[in-house]
């Protein structure tokens, strides 16, 4: 690409002649961000309007008259759909949660963000079920250039992907992979099931278990299999920058933030 008058093969041959040693390209890996993930394009303004309409059409609950005049309800605050999108992009929270936060805080983005962050980790598991097709491909090259890692880390919005916090998270994950040579997959559920069943069969026939009742043997073997699977999963490893938490817990904390 830097000199279209020659091929890559010719480039390598020239470098070989200059350096006096054989040079060969062994392998490469190309990552296309979000490949294989179904992306969903939302019309946030229409979604907010639809949810508001449904709520307006719902039967109103009988009102109880109070002697003292009540403070204006959060629903009485008109929420701008653009602010809902902005808050959702910034926090990753659900649309109705963002709408409620803005209504409760008189359309103040900063206060609404603080309102949502008070939910902390309680909202992280809910976010895990949503589609995350944006994000970044991050790399880590260890000192001496003898270990290199590429990882794809996904999030829901391009807005979050461009932020420094997300970029730092992706870089930390790449470093984590480099520091864990035994890791083979992301989550325990990603383990090759044929391999798992093969190992289970081997464990069931080990001499130290043959004298035990089959039900007891099965429980012991399951414990051994779980340990083996977890040792090869990225998310169950101790986070290298804070070993009091796992990689999964580290990612959940970032999700909540």
Q: At what angle do helices 164-179 and 247-256 cross, to 10 degrees?
A: 180
Q: What is the pLDDT of residue 178?
A: 93
Q: What is the pLDDT of residue 69?
A: 47
Q: Are 77 and 70 in contact (CB under 8 A)?
A: no
pLDDT at 40 over 90: no
Query: d(Cα 30, Cα 51) in Å, to the nearest integer?
Result: 41
Query: d(Cα 45, Cα 201) in Å, to the nearest integer?
Result: 55
Please name which of 203, 251, 208, 253 lies closest in space to residue 227, comparing C-alpha atoms: 203
Mean pLDDT, rounded, of the chain: 81
pLDDT digits 0-9 by tens, 237-248: 999 999 999 999
Q: What is the pLDDT of residue 71?
A: 45
What is the rounded average pLDDT of the residues 66-77?
52
Which residue has better confidence, 207 or 54?
207
Query: d(Cα 132, Cα 153) in Å, to the nearest integer?
Result: 9
What is the rounded average pLDDT of the residues 88-102?
77
Q: Are 161 and 208 in contact (CB under 8 A)?
A: no
Q: What is the pLDDT of residue 90?
A: 74
Q: What is the pLDDT of residue 86?
A: 81
Beta strand pairing call for 148-155 and 242-246 = unpaired
Please, which pLDDT band fits residue 70 given cuts at 50, 70 and 90? Answer: very low
The model carries a pTM of: 0.61
Q: What is the pLDDT of residue 76?
A: 64
Which residue has better confidence, 166 or 33?
166
- DSSP string for 56-100: HHSPPPPPPP-SSPPPPPGGGSPPPHHHHHHHHHHH---HHHHHH
Which residue has better confidence, 43 or 108?
108
Query: d(Cα 112, Cα 91) in Å, to the nearest integer?
Result: 10
What is the rounded average pLDDT of the residues 170-191?
93
pLDDT digits 0-9 by tens, 103-147: 888 888 888 888 877 765 345 555 665 666 688 899 999 888 889
Task: Tell me whether residue 73 is exposed, middle or buried, using C-beta atoms within 10 angstroms of its C-beta: 0 to 12, 13 to 18, 19 or more.
Answer: exposed
Which residue has better confidence, 227 or 92?
227
**Rounded percentage of the chain residues whose pLDDT exceeds 70:** 77
pLDDT at 80 over 60: yes
pLDDT digits 0-9 by tens, 53-63: 655 555 555 55
Q: How many residues does the chain have?
A: 257
Interior CA angle at 206 toward 201 and 212, to 5°?
A: 100
What is the rounded average pLDDT of the residues 149-169?
89
Please, which pLDDT band fits residue 49 given cuts at 50, 70 and 90? Answer: low
Q: What is the pLDDT of residue 122?
A: 40
Query: d(Cα 130, Cα 125) in Å, to the nearest integer?
Result: 10
Coil, strand or helix at 242: strand
Quote the DSSP letter at residue 233: B
């Amino acid at each position: 690409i830097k000199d279209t008058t020659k091929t890559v093969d010719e480039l390598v041959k020239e470098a070989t002649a200059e350096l006096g040693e054989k040079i060969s390209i062994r392998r490469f890996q190309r990552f296309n961000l979000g490949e294989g993930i179904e992306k969903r394009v939302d019309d946030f303004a229409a979604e907010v309007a639809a949810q508001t309409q449904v709520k307006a059409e719902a039967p109103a609950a009988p009102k109880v008259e109070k002697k003292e005049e009540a403070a204006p309800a959060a629903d009485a605050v008109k929420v701008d759909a653009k602010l809902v999108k902005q808050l959702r992009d910034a926090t990753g929270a659900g649309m109705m949660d963002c709408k409620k936060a803005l209504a409760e805080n008189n359309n103040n983005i900063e206060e609404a963000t603080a309102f949502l962050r008070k939910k902390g980790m309680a909202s992280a598991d809910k976010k895990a079920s949503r589609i995350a097709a944006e994000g970044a491909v991050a790399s880590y090259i260890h000192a001496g250039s003898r270990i290199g890692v590429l990882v794809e880390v996904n999030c829901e919005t391009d807005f979050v992907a461009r932020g420094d916090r997300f970029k730092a998270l992706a870089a930390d994950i790449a470093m984590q992979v480099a520091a864990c040579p035994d890791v083979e997959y992301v989550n325990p559920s990603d383990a090759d099931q044929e391999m798992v069943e093969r190992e289970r069969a081997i464990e069931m026939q080990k001499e130290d278990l043959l004298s035990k009742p089959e039900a007891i043997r099965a429980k012991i073997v399951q414990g051994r299999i779980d340990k083996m699977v977890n040792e090869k999963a990225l998310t169950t490893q101790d986070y290298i920058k804070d070993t009091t938490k796992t990689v999964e817990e580290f990612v959940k904390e970032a999700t909540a933030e």
